[in-house]
């Protein structure tokens, strides 16, 4: 089966492309897609426990791309790896909000220090490379209005959000000061095959999916909160578009997804598709309450206008694909 | 001579007060003032070369306070030092914009990592302490409107600005999540006795003052840019007010100063007072141009309204006092 069309067309054919965090959820989906599109793909991943990397995510692709198990903060190795690279999809990072609060210095290493080392390597050894950074809605904190556009004030509610804010700012700065080609996408909740389902470190939806497949209760904290979700294939396509498009250089864009849904409704839909699980509504635990943000959904019209991108996979279909994926492979992820 | 009145009244008498960066410019002025007001003062300073610390700054006060030469990132030592502390004035940091670009990881250590370690120490060992952080106008970047109020978007134009933005966000976060009492003041250009005059790392005005006293040319890059300046005694009083005031908990405030002045006019005034020096107008060097911000002056009405603070030392008087200070002691600072 030939790969589906990409708005990026033939841009990646023959390109040397690095994916940091390439054994992780979004990174592995992106790496696989890039191989299909004809790119020479170099995956860099530190496989730090609990960060989201999993060798299973590139199962079957091991001979079609290169995998380097290396920490981004190892400057000399990184310098060698970026030399000759045309595009860097920079998706590496620590993603757990709670872990960032209990161990802020580890979060600093992964989400700030390593990002500087990567950008310095690009500036010195790959100044022509295009660099796309996975930023996050988390940097807005608790929204003051909806939908949230890029002018919304930044007010992170956890250490992770502060460091992602800093890392995004590094990327913009390296564009403005050094002329490095960078673009940042502020992702909302992303879900789909290869997401972490072992726990809620990456997304609550991953753990819900596991629970549904195991016919266990899904813990829903609150439940009335609205969220927009993006299926991972749509996020991958957004990254491909962002880099292939000359208009996005130096830009920072929200990425939204399907229309927002309330968490209780999302849990019910998932349970219906998975054919298992029950809803267990809970009060917010104190530690979570303080860093919860209430409703969030993005205004991503700037990105859509700049690139022509729009989400293609609606919620029910995305959940069906996700359930089908994990029904076959749950053992490799828990 | 009894000390001048402070809006903070007797708040500091008998208090255990830590000043980080206490051998630096603002920190040393604050430490001396706190001693006068009856506080038991603990100065913490790493004396990292080029960061601004100078033992001369506490000359004559060595027996009236405690000085610890320690890096904030030494968690165990810091834990012991903060225990029993009532107030932390957190002024330690790397201040050079250019150094932050040529060595971003050192800036990260000083302005981000060390700040986390300090806040973690306070959270665990001094949860009742009040913590005041020296933030900076640098986090706004190139202003989009004037005067700049606190709602102005944050868009740092150098690595230093990104890390100061992160450090301020840590302080706000530790207030919101852990209930730690914090307040941040976004300082504009501060000048006065004990500023760094060896070079322009801390403020261009320091180097200008040295040049004027040495009857050398003052390099003025551009010259038409407007800046507001705050005399260091007024900044010290602002910090004292901020912490003593119950209304500022968790707050972030601009601190302005006297009405804005153009740089050429400022240089002329300084030369007139110092009785030496000439103006050498220059085009911006490329490395500076990319991180220059044009005009800046602050709207600090929120802070004035909250505390009753207002600057007392106007520009001519502040420059006279500064010139008098360095005329006596230039040798200790160059």
Residue B138 DSSP label: G
Q: Is the Cβ–Cβ distance between A327 and A210 less than 8 Å?
A: no
Nearest partner of B60 among B331, B334, B329, judged by Cα: B329
Distances (CA, A) of A217 to A268, A277, A333: 11, 5, 19
Q: Which residue of A has its CA nearest to B73?
A: A105
Q: What is the pLDDT of residues A313-326, one digit of tens each?
A: 999 999 999 999 99
Q: Is the Cβ–Cβ distance between B218 and B288 less than 8 Å?
A: no
Distances (CA, A) of B204 to A239, A254, B141, B190, B200: 42, 38, 17, 10, 5
Helix (H, G, I), strand (E, B), or coil: what is residue A31? helix
Q: Which residue of A has its CA nearest to B169?
A: A162
Q: What is the pLDDT of residues B81-104, one digit of tens each?
A: 999 999 999 999 998 988 999 999
Between B283 and A218, the higher pLDDT residue = A218
Whether B56 has its CB under 8 Å from any CB of chain A: the answer is no
Q: What is the pLDDT of residues B129-168, one digit of tens each?
A: 999 999 999 999 999 999 999 999 999 999 999 999 999 9
- The answer for A195, left when phi > 0, alpha when psi is -120 to 50, beta otherwise, is beta
Token couple for A7: 């708005």
Write out the H or E segment, with its range, that includes residue A242.
Answer: helix A232-244
pLDDT reported for residue B116: 98
CA dihedral B51, B55, B61, B66 (to 10 degrees): 70
A266, pLDDT greater than 80: yes
**Ranges of each domain in chain B:** 16-195+230-257+297-312
How far apart CA B223 and CA B202 sit, in angstroms, is 19
Split at pLDDT 50, 70, 90, the class of A78 is: very high
Nearest partner of B135 among B179, B205, B188, judged by Cα: B188
pLDDT reported for residue B286: 74
| A162: nearest CB among B151, B153, B173 | B173
How far apart CA A204 and CA A223 sit, in angstroms, is 12
How far apart CA A226 and CA A292 sit, in angstroms, is 12
Residues of B in contact with A75 (CB under 8 A): none
Out of A2-6, A70-74, A214-218, A306-310, which region has the weakest mean confidence (pLDDT)?
Answer: A2-6
Kindly state the average pLDDT of the residues A59-84: 95
Query: Per the CB < 8 Å rule, is B156 touching A173?
Result: yes
Strands (E), A256-300: 261-262, 278-282
Share above pLDDT 90 across residues of chain A, in percent, rounded to a whole number:
88
Query: How big is chain B by its Cα radius of gyration, in Å?
Result: 19
Q: Is the Cβ–Cβ distance between A31 and A40 less than 8 Å?
A: no
Whether A162 has its CB under 8 Å from any CB of chain B: the answer is yes
- Residue A12: phi and psi, rounded to 5, are -90, -10
| Cβ–Cβ pairs < 8 A, chains A and B | 70
Token couple for B32: 């001396």
- The answer for B84, left when phi > 0, alpha when psi is -120 to 50, beta otherwise, is left
Residues of A in contact with B113 (CB under 8 A): 105, 108
Q: What is the pTM for the complete model shown?
A: 0.96
pLDDT reported for residue A1: 47
Split at pLDDT 50, 70, 90, the class of B2 is: low
Out of A65-79, A213-227, A285-299, which region has the weakest mean confidence (pLDDT)?
Answer: A285-299
Kindly state the average pLDDT of the residues A163-180: 97
Tally of CB atoms within 10 A around A39? 22
Best of B97, B112, B178, B179 to substitute, by most chain A Cβ atoms within 10 angstroms, is: B112
pLDDT reported for residue B3: 59
Our CA-based measurement puts residue B133 at a distance from the nearest CA of chain A, in whole angstroms, of 16
Our CA-based measurement puts residue B169 at a distance from the nearest CA of chain A, in whole angstroms, of 7
* CATH ID of A16-332, from 3.40.50.2000, 3.90.1150.10, 3.30.70.1400, 3.40.50.720: 3.40.50.720
| Residues 6 or more apart in contact with residue A7 via CB below 8 angstroms | A237, A240, A241, A244, A307, A308, A309
Split at pLDDT 50, 70, 90, the class of A284 is: confident
Q: In the block, which residue shows the tokens 């009040």? A: B130
**Statement: B16-195+230-257+297-312 belongs to CATH 3.40.50.720:** yes
Kindly state the average pLDDT of the residues A267-272: 98
Asked if this assembly's ipTM is beyond 0.85, the reply is yes
Q: What is the pLDDT of residues B211-248, one digit of tens each?
A: 999 999 999 988 999 999 999 999 999 999 999 998 99
How far apart CA A280 and CA B248 sit, in angstroms, is 41
pLDDT reported for residue A291: 65
Query: Per the CB < 8 Å rule, is B169 touching A176?
Result: no
Q: What is the pLDDT of residues A145-154, one digit of tens each?
A: 999 999 999 9
Q: What is the pLDDT of residues B5-41, one digit of tens each?
A: 899 999 999 999 999 999 999 999 999 999 999 999 9
Question: Is omega for the bond preceding A147 within 30 degrees of 0, making it cis?
Answer: yes
Share above pLDDT 90 across residues of chain B, in percent, rounded to a whole number:
88
């Amino acid at each position: 089966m030939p790969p589906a069309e990409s708005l990026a067309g033939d841009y990646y054919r023959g390109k040397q492309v690095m994916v940091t965090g390439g054994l992780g959820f979004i990174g592995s989906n992106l790496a696989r897609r890039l191989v299909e599109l004809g790119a020479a793909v170099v995956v860099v991943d530190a496989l730090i426990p609990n960060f989201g990397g999993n060798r299973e995510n590139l199962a079957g692709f091991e001979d079609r791309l290169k995998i380097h198990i290396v920490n981004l903060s190892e400057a000399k190795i990184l310098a060698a790896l970026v030399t000759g690279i045309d595009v860097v999809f920079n998706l590496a990072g620590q993603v757990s909000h709670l872990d960032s609060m209990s161990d802020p210095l580890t979060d600093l290493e992964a989400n700030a220090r390593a990002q500087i080392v990567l950008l310095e390597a690009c500036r010195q050894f790959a100044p022509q490379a295009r660099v796309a950074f996975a930023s996050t809605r988390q940097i807005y904190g608790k929204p003051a209005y909806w939908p949230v556009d890029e002018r919304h004030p930044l007010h992170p509610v956890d250490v992770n959000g502060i460091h992602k804010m800093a890392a995004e700012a590094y990327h913009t700065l390296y564009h403005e000061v050094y002329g490095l080609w960078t673009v940042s996408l502020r992702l909302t909740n992303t879900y789909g095959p290869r997401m972490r389902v072992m726990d809620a470190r990456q997304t609550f939806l991953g753990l819900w999916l596991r629970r549904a497949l195991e016919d266990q209760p899904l813990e829903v904290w609150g439940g009335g909160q609205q969220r927009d979700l993006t299926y991972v294939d749509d996020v991958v396509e957004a990254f491909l578009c962002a880099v292939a498009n000359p208009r996005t250089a130096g830009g920072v864009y929200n990425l939204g997804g399907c229309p927002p849904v309330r968490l209780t409704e999302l849990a019910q839909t998932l349970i219906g598709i998975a054919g298992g699980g029950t809803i267990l509504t809970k009060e917010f635990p104190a530690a979570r309450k303080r860093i919860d943000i209430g409703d969030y959904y993005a205004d991503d019209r700037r990105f859509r206008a700049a690139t022509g991108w729009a989400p293609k996979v609606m919620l029910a279909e995305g959940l069906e694909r996700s359930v089908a994926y994990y029904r076959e492979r749950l053992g490799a992820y828990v």
